[in-house]
Structure 1
Amino acid sequence: MRLKPITMALATAGVVSILSPVHAEEQPKKTERIEVTGSHIKRISAESATPIQVVKREEIAKTGATNVKELLDTLSMSTSSSDMADIGRSNSFATGSSSVSFRNMGQQSTLVLLNFRRVAPYALADYADVFTNLDALPLDAIERVEVLKSGASAIYGSDAVAGVINIITRKDYRGLQIKADHSWSHTSGTFKSNNASITGGMGDLAADRYNVLVNADFYKRDPVMWNDVMKYSNREVTKKFRNFGSPSSYSYPGNVNLKALPGCAEKNSGGLCIYNRYERFQAVPESKRANFFAAGKLQLTDSLLSFTELTYSKIKTEYLNAFQAYGPALPPTDWGDPVTSKPKTFTYRGLPVGHPLNSTNKEVGFHYRFKDGPANSKVDSDSYRLVTGLKGSFGEQDWETAVGIMGAKTVNREYGSFSESGFKKVIGDYTQTVLPADFFNKPNGYRMAQENSAEVLSVLFPEYGYKGENKQSFIDGKISGPIAELPTGTLGYAAGFDLRKETFTITPTENTKNGDVVGLGQTETNASRSLGAVFGELSIPVMKNLEAQVAGRLDKAKGFDAHFSPKVGFRFEPSKSMLFRGTFETGFRAPNLTESAPSTKIAFNNGQSDPKRCPQAERLSEDLQAQASALPTNDPRIAFLQARADTVRQNECSAGVVSIVKNNPNLKPEISKSFSLGMVLEPIAGISTSVDYWNIQRKDEIGLRTIADLLANEDTLEPGIINRNSLANETNFTPAELAQYGVTVGSLASRNQAFENRNKTKTDGIDFNLRGSFSAGAAGKIQLDWNTTYLHSYYEWSANKGGYGDNLSGRYGYSKYSSDLTTSLVSKGATNGLRFNFNSGTTLKRDYNDTQYTDEACATRGWNTSECRIASYMTVDYFLNYSAIKNLTINFNVRNVFNRKPEPNLRWMDEKGGIIPQDINDARGRMLKLGFEYKFL
């Protein structure tokens, strides 16, 4: 048909071609069967029942991506949030890693493959999420990325719910080349990163009967502090938040009783000692990565090939954090005790009577910052995969078997939080009703604003963190080929097995394990299991122009019953320029070892609004602001009143809640049902378009009831699920304020739950693709590639409501449209063009129970209707690939050509306290990338 050669040449969505030019020239008469992502059956036509998007090597260069994470985030179906990149994971359980999510279904529901096989997950779980670390994959070794736009559990097993990413590396390469590039912000001169790689290959499989390929890929990203780039932020956003850019009165040497201590380097107009906290607010952490890939093939006989692949990655990431602040005006820090599974509270106290800096007869307040202490975290991560196997054929049957090992190890070491026991030893016991006179003045203890020994600092601020490690060993095999030639075509089949054993350990340091580190969450896992699967697939020629795909996979692992995943699909080609396709399948995600194995997880959930205290806090905050406004401008009390006004509201309307969660050995797998229906048209030669409707419904989702849901129904819950601090230990409201504003319950302390199969999600939408190639005469050829994802609906189940909530499409975090359009002019020796990136706007409100960001709630904050939403956002990129010089290719990319700032997101600023910009792109602006590639052979 006319559709096939054109779409194969253009790599249309849903079409893959991996026939190399060399083979095409050497064997023009041979029809080669190829394996396509989403099927084990090799076929002549690359088109199948399932839509596939292919991103080739030259298209990767057009995006300007510097790593695999950036590349996958350019896909229209990608819905990854900022906290799925290593840049935004400084406070995560999985620091130093990056992941991806499709269709808003989460990082555990998108399966990542490397050359059709799984890779080891990251060695630290993100609380309970186990996922592939994209930073451990070499960008320059990639030949193409095949993105399956539907589930594929019937083919690949667990996790293939929202989609599959199959990263396919270069093959049969001969020669030697080096490649390097440098990226930086044209706006600020910062946000720098460097890539360098070397690739070598030797041996012709046909002539020499072997081929060896080796690639080494190196990446380095410079750190960026907000202090250096804040001036580039969008003032239309930041001017609404008084805290933005403001120095802190929690300073060194500090303030006692509204007076700066001697030796203060900088004071405000009221005479208070201040500190530029943005010196330690980090926008981008430093990262160093080395990825290694090697592959070898040996043709043993004409029908027997041996192969081996090795990948190895080493990553170092360092995060710089704010120095520890201290003062009785700060809210108590709650965390959990892993030994007792009960909440703990650290209360900030003042200077006692008798302290040299306290001349009063009562405990006195002060603001201090431990600038002499450490405040950073270092993450070292290694991962590997070794696969070796055989593939061959007998007659028309193709078979393949392989064995392998893979794994990952991550060591995360952090510094900067108090040791509770160390604090009591070198500062004093903060739990005493009346503080002893030597509190903050112990002999050989910590001394404010004085030089302290390394020994004292190590007691107060010890090292803590985690070591994570996972290992897998596996053996797999499959066979495929024709069963019979029918009048309507070839009846084909595939069958195979997959056996693996996995272990997963996450070991906290001893002080983390016993709950000694103030405010720190905790997770621990030590478990293993064996998994097995058998699968089969049929390609049935129903008619000459109608093919059916039937597949099924049976998975079994210790801890849950055997699960069968079926799939049916069709491919109908009524004419040479028209194709219809569709699938129906079920998918699943097995409980991972961090969810089902014995463990207790303790985390800190920020941004929670307390419905029983937030309204009162907002009124108190307004009254404190009014008191500050009434004072003379040089009155030192202004800064304290304003700081308290912000703190009061932050503590109750964006509170932190300790979450203590147990494992559940009785968890069932998450189950999904999905179907797709689409068509591919080629109305004229050189133009191909596809439209695919997709629908996913997932149930038995493993998770927890949201804190917002629990708080909305607190009075109906069993005792012990929501825990509050006693009013006797109240720190946010004074006794008089408790009565004045009607506060009758204590502040939030913790929630206690166990994982359960409780949630459901349903979503649907449309993927659109248009590709074309036109002659531009003497100028060359124009290429067009347009991808759009339309989110029609997204619903989450609410246990409180007893049904689904609102349609979240177009709500906060759920853009209705995501689109990218690439136009290229391909001429002799050069390719250049533009890429347009678009995301539609959203409201600030999320689901039905979100009362904090309705239009009415926005109005109470002084935000107008347009400010109570995020407007649509589009950027334009430019790319140039120049190859007119023999063996040399020069690449130049400009991302965000017009230096457009992200649209204001007042909700993000509000929830984070309005202290730092909403997005690093706010300060990054226009980015430039210049690189070259040189081939020696």
Structure 2
Amino acid sequence: MNFRVWVFCVWSLLVARPSVAQVTAGEEDMVRVEVIGSSIKRLVSESSQPLTVFKAEEFTKQGLTTAREVLDRIPSNQTNMGAGNTIGGNASSLPTGGQAVADLRGLGGDKTLVLLNGRRIANHPYDSASVDLNLIPIAALERVEVLRDGASAIYGTDAIGGVINFITRRSVRGTTLVAESVIPKKSGGKEKRANIISGIGELDADGWSVFGVLDYHNEDALTSQQREFSNTGVRNNLGLSRTSGVTFPGNYFDPVTKTTGNPGYPSGCNAPFSLPIGSGGTCRQDYTRQIDDLPEQEQLALFGRATKKFGDHTASLEYLHSRNKVISHTAPPPQIALFLPKTSPYYPGNSGGVPAQPNLSGEPLNVSWRPLEAGQRQINSEGEGDRLVAALEGLVAGWDYKGGLSHSINKSEEVFAGGYVQDSGFAAGVLNGILNPFGLQNSAGKAYLESVALRGKVQDAKATTTAFDLKASRELIRLSGGPLAMALGAEIRHEKSDFNVNRDIAGQAGSSGLSGSLSKNGSRNIKAVFGELSIPVMKKVDVQAAMRYDDYDDVGRTANPKVGVRWQPSPRIMLRGSASTGFRAPTLFERNAPQSRNETNNSLNDPILCPSGVPQPGANPLRDCGLQQFKLQGGNPDLTPEKSKTFSVGAVIEPASNLTVAIDYWAISLKDKIGNVPELTLFGNFERYRARFLRNPDGSPFAVLDLYENLGKVRTNGVDLSLTGTTRHMDYGDFSLKIDGTWVHKYEYQNERDGDYIQNVGRYADLFPIFRWKHNLSLTWRSTTWSATLSQNFRTGYVDQNQVDPILFNRVSSYQLWNLSGTYAASKSLTLTAGIKNLFDRDPPFTNQGSTFQQGYDPRFTDPGGRALYLRGSVDF
């Protein structure tokens, strides 16, 4: 949608919303609550924090079925790692366990703090750096609060980019049954959800309440072949040729004559799966044809809460159990460095039927082969989370206190369920003349292939967090501008992580990316104290000052202050600003993980033996040219915490009675960023990083050393903008229109201390782009029994990765999704919703990115499902 068009629509439709004066007029009757980003209870209108609140009613009507989808509608959430990233793994080529991650400001999921009802959840155990959003019980939610500001002074580590607080219902009376379905116009990706919510008792009336939620969600797999934009990695007209040199039929290399070839090349290889586009008469595998765009996924969540009043005190017990199963498929396993001797019947020209090839020495051939008959590689991932919270809050001697003990466990495991083979046994089958690398197997070959199939649990992990927190607040004295309030608090937390690798499985499958993985574990204790003051220096000026001191027994101590100011010079204008410091402590795995040798995400050339794709003396083109290389990764005990400074200033203005405009400028600077030097940076600057390229004694490549380290700085700034308006008491119903948008002015980072800054806004840098502008727009109409919502999710385009051809200029176009839904309240107990997701059936824009297994589009920022019908029904009893 044209920018000027939607701005015009906004201003032409907005005519409403109660003014600040109208809101404050009734403040005496309003209840003070704890607002995210503060420990002092206050009116929501008094907050100096830039907040976004997304009510459950809003995202259910838009057909948003997962926590990841909900957060994708938050413009400050830049990236969108979800189930699609299970295919091929994360940035380190390792499995993700189906993890979904939030990433405010594009700083990384590890710098966004995710809370459930104001308390931490154990991070995902594979990297121990961020929460898995799949654990969030979406059916139990009342709202989602997003603090778009640094908050380490209140919450400690991870709260650099902001804080997301998922807030569940506090009580339920009666029973509600809900059923949902998302039915794409095209095959694949169908979703269904069912949940039951039931409760008894009301806290205020009865002094107690108990309720529970059981939620089930299932999504069918969507394969690359079910969508035209993703069905191949070869689009020559667009500069895309993302293929693998390990193919069926196999490519060979004669180390004596230096001859390469493929017996299937003259007949077209094995189109469309492999194509005659390799150099030296070899074939290339179009592996994209045999992967999933979205894996099959099944989620189950159980949430319960019991609350009881004891005079001025309220005790509660809260339990969450969540399970997430993911089944993902990638292309059959590539096998390299296979030796085919002259004695094999399948040596070219022998009795096995493989045609003779020119320029062969008769010495053993080096073969690279992808056995399609082994089937697609299948990984079954299962994640499981449990969280128990016992809390007590109330009033003692004028202090409003709140404390709790929480215990959270997050587990995950990966199982090889098909397609993988035992490397050594497979190689022996080629060496002994049982397996035919150039054609289909005979009965003996099929039986042998089944005998070397590799199945079983390859890895599992567990992360545990146990915490005790206590905070109390009260008004101290009354100043001319109002009461001076203070909050004090303390937290003690124990974190433990265990990652176990089944070496009997992992060590036999180089194609898994896990062959070099090793078991690892770690634990630590954290102690923290914090304080906060709310100082009404004048009637219309309020200052918030906070400080937190954290003590980690493994990385040291840190103190982080924050100052916020709220000034309301008139009933229709409120100005706000804040400045703070923040930090992120290195995770247990970032410090303690042993070194492991894993494959790169991208297909690359060895810079010594095959610079620019040209084989040099001693090179093996089937190993050194255009293939995934190896990197040696692991922890670094010398890591220090990341440190940040955040500044924001903004205003909330009501230019008309029923129209609210909020604008906030924000700036974040981060130093000592923890990470790995991107693989494209290492291979693209060989002379600078020459010492990192480790070689075997014979000169062949071993791996590129790429451990975690403190890199350089990150600097980013931009503007958040929101407009909200409503019409009320109209004969034809009420309208409300809301736009939330984020414009990023600058995002630049260094890959090493004091290095050059890399510009990332509006362009794909090392790993991903930063979108210049992203917004979510919704227009809602309500009458007595009917309502309808039209929503748009929009993000700007960017300069593509262009890794395939550095000369070819390619720009990824902007992307927008429109959703339309209508709701009918048939009775007090029955509500029906129907809608269309992706109303205009917009395909993801083309990109030549090579960071994910999916090709032709980027699964991290787009929805491959296409237009879909959304149906929802709820019945109250």
- The reply on whether 1:491 has 2:484 as its aligned counterpart is yes
Question: Kindly tell me: are residues 611 and 348 of structure 1, through their superposed partners in 2, closer, same or farther at Cα, counting changes over 3 Å?
Answer: closer
- Residue 319 of structure 2 is aligned with which of 277, 287, 310? 310
- Residue 501 of structure 1 is aligned with which of 494, 500, 507? 494
Q: Deviations over 1:521-559 (max 9, x none)?
A: 325321111111111100001111100000011111111
| Displacement of 1:148 | 0.2
State the SS of the aligned residue for 2:46: coil
Q: Mapping of 1:589-738 within 5 angstroms?
A: 589-597=584-592, 599-607=594-602, 610=605, 612=607, 617=612, 652=625, 655-717=627-689, 719=691, 721-724=692-695
Q: CA RMSD in A?
A: 4.0
- The reply on whether 1:750 has 2:703 as its aligned counterpart is yes
Do 1:658 and 1:749's aligned partners in 2 also have CA atoms closer than 8 Å?
yes
In the alignment, what sits opposite 2:353? none
Question: Kindly tell me: are residues 789 and 611 of structure 1, through their superposed partners in 2, closer, same or farther at Cα, counting changes over 3 Å?
Answer: farther
Paired with 1:708 and 1:279, the residues of 2 have a C-alpha distance of 25
In the alignment, what sits opposite 2:454? 461
Question: Kindly tell me: are residues 542 and 311 of structure 1, through their superposed partners in 2, closer, same or farther at Cα, counting changes over 3 Å?
Answer: same
Q: Mapping of 1:799-838 within 5 angstroms?
A: 799=752, 802-806=755-759, 808-810=761-763, 813-838=769-794
**One-letter code of the match for 2:673?**
E
Q: Mapping of 1:413-452 within 5 angstroms?
A: 413-414=415-416, 415-423=418-426, 426-428=429-431, 438=433, 440=435, 448-451=441-444
State the SS of the aligned residue for 1:140: helix
In the alignment, what sits opposite 1:350? 340
Question: Kindly tell me: are residues 320 and 843 of structure 1, through their superposed partners in 2, closer, same or farther at Cα, counting changes over 3 Å?
Answer: closer
| Displacement of 1:175 | 1.1
State the SS of the aligned residue for 1:683: strand
In the alignment, what sits opposite 2:10? none
| Displacement of 1:458 | 4.9
**One-letter code of the match for 1:207?**
A
In the alignment, what sits opposite 1:170? 169
Question: Kindly tell me: are residues 235 and 765 of structure 1, through their superposed partners in 2, closer, same or farther at Cα, counting changes over 3 Å?
Answer: same
Q: Mapping of 1:720-799 within 5 angstroms?
A: 721-724=692-695, 749-775=702-728, 777-799=730-752
Paired with 1:650 and 1:928, the residues of 2 have a C-alpha distance of 47
Paired with 1:674 and 1:57, the residues of 2 have a C-alpha distance of 30
Unaligned 5+ residue runs, structure 1?
Answer: 1-6, 18-23, 327-331, 333-346, 429-436, 621-646, 730-745, 846-850
| Displacement of 1:426 | 4.8
**One-letter code of the match for 1:65?**
L
In the alignment, what sits opposite 1:293? 303
Paired with 1:244 and 1:664, the residues of 2 have a C-alpha distance of 33
- The reply on whether 1:931 has 2:872 as its aligned counterpart is yes
**One-letter code of the match for 1:510?**
R
Paired with 1:267 and 1:750, the residues of 2 have a C-alpha distance of 29
State the SS of the aligned residue for 1:511: helix
Paired with 1:518 and 1:234, the residues of 2 have a C-alpha distance of 21
State the SS of the aligned residue for 2:227: helix
Do 1:724 and 1:749's aligned partners in 2 also have CA atoms closer than 8 Å?
yes
Do 1:351 and 1:440's aligned partners in 2 also have CA atoms closer than 8 Å?
no
Do 2:114 and 2:164's aligned partners in 1 also have CA atoms closer than 8 Å?
yes
Q: Deviations over 1:431-486 (max 9, x none)?
A: xxxxxx647499xxx99432568787354535352110122222111111101112
| Displacement of 1:603 | 2.9
Q: Deviations over 1:156-196 (max 9, x none)?
A: 1100000100000011221100111110212x132101111
**One-letter code of the match for 2:693?**
I
| Displacement of 1:888 | 1.1
| Displacement of 1:423 | 3.3
Paired with 2:712 and 2:573, the residues of 1 have a C-alpha distance of 40
Q: Deviations over 1:647-677 (max 9, x none)?
A: 979974x653322134222221110100100
- Residue 543 of structure 2 is aligned with which of 548, 557, 567? 548
State the SS of the aligned residue for 1:207: helix
| Displacement of 1:836 | 1.9
Paired with 1:84 and 1:660, the residues of 2 have a C-alpha distance of 26
Q: Deviations over 1:251-307 (max 9, x none)?
A: 69x99834999xx9999999x999997774222211111101101110122x01111
Do 2:83 and 2:98's aligned partners in 1 also have CA atoms closer than 8 Å?
no
| Displacement of 1:57 | 1.7
Q: Deviations over 1:38-94 (max 9, x none)?
A: 000001344311100000122112332111111111111111145675554655332
- Tell me the TM-score normalized by structure 2: 0.84
Length, aligned pairs only? 820
In the alignment, what sits opposite 2:836? 894
| Displacement of 1:756 | 2.3
- Residue 799 of structure 2 is aligned with which of 830, 843, 848? 843
Question: Kindly tell me: are residues 98 and 416 of structure 1, through their superposed partners in 2, closer, same or farther at Cα, counting changes over 3 Å?
Answer: same
Paired with 2:489 and 2:596, the residues of 1 have a C-alpha distance of 38
| Displacement of 1:798 | 4.1
| Displacement of 1:206 | 2.1
State the SS of the aligned residue for 1:206: helix
State the SS of the aligned residue for 1:160: coil
| Displacement of 1:411 | 1.6
After superposing the two structures, state which structure 1 stretch, 157-166 or 510-519, moved more. 510-519
Q: Deviations over 1:811-858 (max 9, x none)?
A: 55122111121111111211113112221121125xxxxx858xxx55
State the SS of the aligned residue for 1:715: coil
State the SS of the aligned residue for 2:373: coil
Q: Mapping of 1:192-231 within 5 angstroms?
A: 192-230=190-228
Do 1:709 and 1:800's aligned partners in 2 also have CA atoms closer than 8 Å?
no
Paired with 2:342 and 2:595, the residues of 1 have a C-alpha distance of 38
Q: Deviations over 1:547-604 (max 9, x none)?
A: 0000011111111221111101100011111000011001111111001125224332
Paired with 1:269 and 1:539, the residues of 2 have a C-alpha distance of 68
Question: Kindly tell me: are residues 551 and 88 of structure 1, through their superposed partners in 2, closer, same or farther at Cα, counting changes over 3 Å?
Answer: farther
Paired with 1:267 and 1:666, the residues of 2 have a C-alpha distance of 46
After superposing the two structures, state which structure 1 stretch, 313-322 or 599-608, moved more. 599-608
| Displacement of 1:369 | 1.9
| Displacement of 1:375 | 2.4
State the SS of the aligned residue for 1:108: helix
Do 2:407 and 2:467's aligned partners in 1 also have CA atoms closer than 8 Å?
yes
Do 1:157 and 1:555's aligned partners in 2 also have CA atoms closer than 8 Å?
yes
Paired with 2:194 and 2:569, the residues of 1 have a C-alpha distance of 49
Question: Kindly tell me: are residues 843 and 387 of structure 1, through their superposed partners in 2, closer, same or farther at Cα, counting changes over 3 Å?
Answer: same
Question: Kindly tell me: are residues 658 and 690 of structure 1, through their superposed partners in 2, closer, same or farther at Cα, counting changes over 3 Å?
Answer: same
| Displacement of 1:412 | 0.9
**One-letter code of the match for 2:822?**
L
**One-letter code of the match for 1:532?**
K
In the alignment, what sits opposite 1:257? 263
Paired with 2:19 and 2:95, the residues of 1 have a C-alpha distance of 39
**One-letter code of the match for 1:406?**
S
State the SS of the aligned residue for 1:71: helix
Paired with 1:73 and 1:16, the residues of 2 have a C-alpha distance of 30
